[in-house]
Structure 1
């Protein structure tokens, strides 16, 4: 690169160019245009505002005459004596003297129309139109000019009322009204008071309806003025602003709001009329400026070419940089342009380096994203299969425990320990699957109106075994009624039970737990408070996140996966509420507060009846009357124990472990009910049900699904396949027996 030529700062080149070409013309044009525009515009605005003010004054004068005539009529002795028929004739005579009046009305203070001069005395009268001005007269006892109202007849005639109060003894007795047609205002608006700059003169009522107009009145009278007109005229009593007319033309609007009628008089002028002086001044200034510009441009032409060439090179170099090519510039006499060339070269080098880094980072990010998506999908599949695989072995264990209980062999402390720990495992599985559903947005609610106390009662029943085991004292202060919420009863019970269980686990034996509820901030507040180990301040903000737990000892005596409180927050927020945690510190207990929206109505909690196991009568348990149940499950232990439990409950049972066995047993056993495991090998439960229907036809049993899958999609699929019930492993024994027993009175045939 050759040595750069001597250069000056770019600002000096620009100053010389501006002084030599544009500055004289710009200064001269600015001074002339400003002075002309300021003087001519202000004078024109004053003229049109005066014209609008005179129009408003003329309207008020016209309305004052009508008001005085009505006030004189209001002094009629007929009104004192209540001779309304005679007053009807007198009002008609007065109306004929007033060309602008359409008819006269007399209205009682309660809004009843007593007479209307357009109707014969005694004829049925229509209701009072335009109620707002009538109400204002009743409230203020002052004359009022009402707004434009459109009739309900086929002609859709428009009119506006002028109302005056009829006072007797200081009290309002009647409201006397003259109904005036907008046509009577044509002479008012058709009397210009200024020069030819006016285009349209308009009267607009207090509600923004066009009452009179010099231009196309038949087209616009009775229509609402533009929103911009109403906004500007309400902001001040007088003024001028630019707008678009109802015709769609650009105009200036000068307005004046009359008092006390609160109508608005407007003078609308085309913008070209007010802007003409300014435009003329601008043209004059522009012409002179052009002359000066051409004179200065000739002297700057030679010098500007050199500057133009350097700027063009800089532009080409920047374009090359944008395309990814190395920029190149010749040495320039302008210092800033020379520096710009050097900066573009350095930028090109840095850009190539950044592009290489960006490509590497993008590749790494895409790889990480693909791995994260794959891991998320694998996690979802794993959680679903984990729930199914855990429920399958739990099912025979739960059923076996129930069999032992019915045989009277489950009364030992060891059996109680097994039952308690088994319930804990089932709850952990349910919580884990619920958390997976929430993460995928698949957890749905079945909300209905209910009393909070009903959910509290069920939650206490669920948590009381743990509370009793740890010898806690539970205090409950929840009203049986008056706390209505719109909620999913099962999920709300789960929220309260999780909070009670959490307090029980983290409170030393012999502690105190308090559960109370009441109204707060327009909603329902439920509080669970304990005197347990409390919360560290740094833990509180993260407490409701999944898998976050307080400090644990090595033996993990509290148990749990750290998802109970995360479920609480997700379920409460799904109900439109929120949950908060508070603690004074470690060892000082904790308090959890749930707020839910109050519902306007709720069903009163029904008293819970003691659950009874179905007991078959002697006639029903006879060989010919016993309900026959076919259990099909590839888990031999689960099938055998469930069949044994059903047999102990008075039902005749048969067992199969695959599709061929199920078809054979169905043909020979002829069951009334078939409990089918959905996850059978080779042919699943849906296929087994379909094949049984093909063989037995109308003699097919009622089908119920028996599965470890519990998502809403699984329930919907089993229902669509004709299954009457969807039982999730491990089965609620009482629910199963109640379902089978419900089929005893009359079987409906195939499901």
Structure 2
């Protein structure tokens, strides 16, 4: 008759016995040396440092355990059983996106031949294996492990380390599955201490070969370098401890370390030596013998009482590992009630894990479908914005041209004309801002960077924003040096940044307010500050004020105007120039301060601006007057074409007008223009086709072509240039820009004659 197994005791009783065996001698020891606590501060600090190193090592192990479990789950894929490597490539990429720390996933044959690499398309040539030591150990032990930091074999030559898992089928190792992880992904592990130890200085992770993989202080300088020789000797001689050393920075330090037996990596906490070198004196020696004896007793008691508990925990660990590999967990009956229940919970977890995997696959499929819908919606929105800009610019073109005609005829000296001009400029600006947001969203914003002085940008921006500032009777104070503030940037886009900030300040400041614009050196760069005493910005809106279409509280009459995209453009353009923009506001009614920081451009001398070069060229003395340039305007918008022709006529040019392809061909043959301004969106035959037909008829006598259209995207400009158009004008056209282009044709035409 077999005896019934003893009833397992609760875990707390085992812990009580363990704590009693280890801490009671220590309590007695502490009572004896209570008067020496001040001198034992160093010991306390050392223990905290070693504990911090141990916590860092455990944090790393938890991070790697998560990756190993994810790889083991992926290794169970049916695709590998059937050799469907292309399908496994797709599945690996899907799993990789769920693991933020993974750079890419590799599948290797037992011979070390790369079969799948998610960093490359399937079937592409793959780089050879970079780190073979851990690969060989996987083949030998058939256990998951973490490799060493090496330089990758890809084109980028990045530092990375592998986490490898064997893929075994029916007792045969079929593949080795690897997740490649970069040192940057460990920043969260080393930068998030679990304690508030103010004495910690630098936190370091070192791989099995002694190479620094992660470091809180100057990682770009030290990651990839070998640790110091004393560090390697000490950490290979003991599991954990603390010793005096000279850091990689050359500082006198103490190093607390903890060596992980599972991965072979070492975690270290480097502290300044002066923190621990407090006077401990002879009192430590006086009680050292007694303390050592008591600690030995404590260690012996802990060892005796923890043997059974350790054996049960080891079985639980093995059962958990089996569960991670997809095998049924098995545990012998334990004397610890909680561990016995743990075995039952692990078996239930195996079933639950299978259900969660099915749910995960369903969620991934749903997310992929949602992403496809979002991409389609974004494309439709971009197409709508482009068409909206075209449709808005077409009716604006004849209005702008007609207003310019009235001005040149002296009929625009009325307040009503000024109101129309001001509001029309506002509408044109809104259309341009809306299309700029669309370009930035698609990543199509291009910059033409040249060296320039910030003062020239501010001057142009103030000129653009002056009408609104004067209309609202604001006092504008400028404190911008005329020189010594060089930047490398796009003059038009930087002018847009400053003008948007001034316009924003003018709109949200009550009439008669104050606006201040200043610029100065700051943090090795240049700071431009726009301050106002307007209505301010609520705290809940400050974090979102630079997002598109986000605006502060508006009055019922919307007197402030705008679409809420000006500040979004400011941030995007400043970011594109390598700078940053910040907002400070003390709240509603207390004004706002916008600060733009731009990198300083260092060079010997800034070039002379183009407008200065143009004005510095003296006119030819006694030059004979040239005959008028003949210009052909082709636009199906009759109002726009007639108004532009009349305006060009007032500017001294001979102009002919046509509204379709047939009219353009007949007028070109009879008029023989030197320049043809063609609307791209003509009916029946577009502007490109009209240009081809004119060239076929006139041959070498064909005019210079310029495009006129409501589409102003980069793709539109590239297409017109490829079709042979010399310039691409966007409606409503700038008459000064057009006349400057026509005048630039005179030397070429006269030289040809």
Q: TM class, shorter-chain normalised?
A: 0.5 to 0.7
Partner of 1:640: 642
Gapped regions of structure 2 (runs ≥ 5): 11-223, 237-310
Please tell me whether residue 573 in structure 1 is matched to residue 575 in structure 2: yes
Partner of 2:678: 676
1:474-503 Cα offsets, whole Å, 9 max, x none, are 111211111111111111111111111111
Partner of 1:292: none
Shift of 1:684: 2.3
Please tell me whether residue 695 in structure 1 is matched to residue 694 in structure 2: no
Alignment equivalent of 1:603, drawn from 599, 603, 607? 607
1:165-198 Cα offsets, whole Å, 9 max, x none, are xxxxxxxxxxxxxxxxxxxxxxxxxxxxxxxxxx
Partner of 2:457: 455
Matches within 5 A, 1:509-524: 509-524=511-526
Shift of 1:344: 5.7
| Aligned equivalents of 1:607, 1:591: Cα separation in 2 | 32
> Are the counterparts in 2 of residues 453 and 605 from structure 1 also a CA contact under 8 Å?
no
Shift of 1:705: 1.1
Secondary structure at 1:539 match in 2? helix
1:667-718 Cα offsets, whole Å, 9 max, x none, are 1221111001122233322222122112111000011111122223322332
Alpha-carbon distance change, 338 to 678 in structure 1, aligned in 2, over 3 angstroms? same
> Are the counterparts in 2 of residues 451 and 604 from structure 1 also a CA contact under 8 Å?
no
Alpha-carbon distance change, 230 to 465 in structure 1, aligned in 2, over 3 angstroms? closer
Secondary structure at 2:540 match in 1? coil
Please tell me whether residue 585 in structure 1 is matched to residue 587 in structure 2: yes
> Are the counterparts in 2 of residues 451 and 603 from structure 1 also a CA contact under 8 Å?
no
Gapped regions of structure 1 (runs ≥ 5): 12-226, 244-306
Partner of 1:529: 531
Shift of 1:240: 9.8
Across the two proteins, how many residue pairs are aligned to each other? 451
| Aligned equivalents of 1:604, 1:749: Cα separation in 2 | 28
Secondary structure at 1:370 match in 2? helix
> Are the counterparts in 2 of residues 449 and 485 from structure 1 also a CA contact under 8 Å?
yes
> Are the counterparts in 1 of residues 669 and 698 from structure 2 also a CA contact under 8 Å?
yes
Partner of 1:221: none
Shift of 1:607: 7.6
Secondary structure at 1:525 match in 2? strand
Partner of 2:667: 665
Alpha-carbon distance change, 7 to 565 in structure 1, aligned in 2, over 3 angstroms? same
Shift of 1:575: 1.2
Alpha-carbon distance change, 606 to 725 in structure 1, aligned in 2, over 3 angstroms? closer
Shift of 1:732: 0.5
Shift of 1:406: 1.9
Matches within 5 A, 1:252-263: none
> Are the counterparts in 2 of residues 631 and 674 from structure 1 also a CA contact under 8 Å?
yes
Alpha-carbon distance change, 618 to 627 in structure 1, aligned in 2, over 3 angstroms? farther
Secondary structure at 1:532 match in 2? coil
Query: After the TM superposition, which of the residue ranges 716-725 and 519-528 deviates more from structure 2?
Result: 716-725
Query: After the TM superposition, which of the residue ranges 421-430 and 660-669 deviates more from structure 2?
Result: 660-669
Query: After the TM superposition, which of the residue ranges 530-539 and 372-381 deviates more from structure 2?
Result: 530-539
Partner of 2:414: 412
> Are the counterparts in 2 of residues 500 and 528 from structure 1 also a CA contact under 8 Å?
yes
Please tell me whether residue 500 in structure 1 is matched to residue 502 in structure 2: yes
Alignment equivalent of 2:688, drawn from 657, 681, 686? 686
Shift of 1:334: 7.1
Secondary structure at 1:538 match in 2? helix
| Aligned equivalents of 2:714, 2:523: Cα separation in 1 | 35
Alpha-carbon distance change, 659 to 630 in structure 1, aligned in 2, over 3 angstroms? same
1:415-439 Cα offsets, whole Å, 9 max, x none, are 1111111100111111111111111
| Aligned equivalents of 1:472, 1:398: Cα separation in 2 | 28
Partner of 1:211: none
1:124-178 Cα offsets, whole Å, 9 max, x none, are xxxxxxxxxxxxxxxxxxxxxxxxxxxxxxxxxxxxxxxxxxxxxxxxxxxxxxx
Instruction: State TM-score, norm by structure 1.
Output: 0.54
Partner of 2:727: 725
Aligned-residue CA RMSD (Å): 4.1
> Are the counterparts in 1 of residues 656 and 671 from structure 2 also a CA contact under 8 Å?
yes
Matches within 5 A, 1:283-298: none
Alpha-carbon distance change, 338 to 416 in structure 1, aligned in 2, over 3 angstroms? same
| Aligned equivalents of 1:318, 1:242: Cα separation in 2 | 31
> Are the counterparts in 2 of residues 395 and 731 from structure 1 also a CA contact under 8 Å?
yes
Partner of 2:470: 468
> Are the counterparts in 2 of residues 701 and 749 from structure 1 also a CA contact under 8 Å?
no
Shift of 1:741: 2.6
Matches within 5 A, 1:641-656: 641-656=643-658
Alpha-carbon distance change, 318 to 10 in structure 1, aligned in 2, over 3 angstroms? farther
Alpha-carbon distance change, 240 to 698 in structure 1, aligned in 2, over 3 angstroms? closer
Shift of 1:598: 1.3
Secondary structure at 2:550 match in 1? coil
Shift of 1:632: 1.3
Please tell me whether residue 368 in structure 1 is matched to residue 370 in structure 2: yes
Alignment equivalent of 1:708, drawn from 701, 710, 728? 710
Alpha-carbon distance change, 334 to 577 in structure 1, aligned in 2, over 3 angstroms? closer
Matches within 5 A, 1:734-745: 734-745=736-747
| Aligned equivalents of 1:435, 1:748: Cα separation in 2 | 43
| Aligned equivalents of 1:499, 1:230: Cα separation in 2 | 51
Alpha-carbon distance change, 356 to 416 in structure 1, aligned in 2, over 3 angstroms? same
Matches within 5 A, 1:247-396: 322=326, 342-343=344-345, 346-347=348-349, 349-351=351-353, 353-355=355-357, 357-396=359-398
Matches within 5 A, 1:537-552: 537-552=539-554
> Are the counterparts in 2 of residues 706 and 728 from structure 1 also a CA contact under 8 Å?
yes
Shift of 1:738: 1.8
